[in-house]
Structure 1
Amino acid sequence: ATFRYVIEGGVWEKEEAKKDLREIFVVPDPYVVTNSFETIYELGGTTQRRVDFVNLPPKCTIHIFTASGKKVRTLEHESTVDYGRKSWDLTSDDGPEVAFGIYFFVVDAPDIGSKRGKFALIK
């Protein structure tokens, strides 16, 4: 007797991937000075300030802008684990922490499309 096994891989469907872009969001929103997502450092009791972008496609670029349209940070995401999550440490590309306020983001995913959204950082 001869046995033959066939394993079919997952199929990438562009239209489904475009629909999935609608599921991208930021947590926590609003971010309030400190939140339960942050890790408390043993020394000094301070926390790592951050927000997370979730439900990201496996490969994308996240652009973060102030309400006035100034780009403050660009993040590259390339991962298929952790539920499509990318953390932002609330710093600008120049280094210092950003101010509190309303921020906009654009997620650009090659061959899929883009998603725009907003979130708030509250003191």
Structure 2
Amino acid sequence: MSNSTATLAVARRYVDAMSAKDFATVASMFADDIVWHQPGSNRFSGTRRSAAAVNEMLGGQMGVTNGTLEIQVTGALMVNGALCALPVHFSAKRDGAEMSMDGVDVLRVEGDKIVEVWLFSTDQQAEDAFWDAD
């Protein structure tokens, strides 16, 4: 299996698990030393450097939004070797605030694990305001 084929297979499993909110499967796909780049300047922003730290952040996001955080892939998965770009739409509700926007998630895959993730939002200011709303 080519590198691109393997990358695509892992990315598809990740997308299916995220869409189903199957976080046990999502967590099992992370390398122990995954590096996750969360954009913006809000309570969840910054770089996480371990599967435990990433899972804690994702759990925090689900907790703050009472499980309403949804991520859907909106177009073709684009693969270049070990990298896969996913066009996404994400939305959530919390404390009367709502967020709904497009973005791009980029995964770096080694073997059958996700080793690095970069997230991009079309309206980072609105996302920051949503996560830090009082």
Give the structure-1-normalised TM-score.
Answer: 0.31
Greater Rg by CA: 1
The structure that is helix-richer by fraction is: 2
